[in-house]
């Protein structure tokens, strides 16, 4: 399966406790007990994710409705990289 076909989603939002801190965001992930200190664009990407599995392409469309993004091809690659990282951290899921 290529990365473009991967569908991304997140579990129950209650699993995460988000708190803004001086421009950064603290995320406490209850199941792992790990605290993540994240910077933009991670909170924005997490907010775009829902329980409905979506490809990076549609998530990018959703983000571009709210934000000005960089060039499209590059933005998709960068978004996919962030999504993969969030999956590795357990903050997002993919299938």
Where does this chain bind other proteins (CB under 8 A)?
Answer: 11, 23, 30-42, 44, 63, 66-70, 74-75, 77-79, 81-82, 84-85, 87-90, 93
> Nearer Cβ to other proteins, position 61 or 85?
85
Strands 7-9 and 93-94: antiparallel
Please name which of 48, 50, 52 lies closest in space to residue 82, comparing C-alpha atoms: 48
Distance of closest approach, residue 56 Cβ to other proteins, in angstroms: 11
Do the Cβ atoms of 57 and 76 come closer than 8 Å?
A: yes
Distance of closest approach, residue 20 Cβ to other proteins, in angstroms: 12
């Amino acid at each position: 399966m290529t990365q473009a076909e991967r569908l991304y989603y997140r579990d129950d939002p209650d699993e995460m406790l988000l708190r803004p801190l001086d421009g950064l965001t603290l995320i406490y992930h209850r199941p792992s007990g790990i605290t993540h200190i994240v910077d933009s664009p991670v909170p924005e990407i997490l907010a775009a994710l829902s329980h409905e599995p979506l490809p990076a392409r549609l998530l990018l469309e959703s983000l571009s409705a709210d934000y000005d993004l960089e060039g499209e091809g590059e933005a998709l690659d960068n978004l996919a990289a962030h999504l993969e990282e969030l999956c590795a951290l357990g903050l997002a899921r993919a299938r």
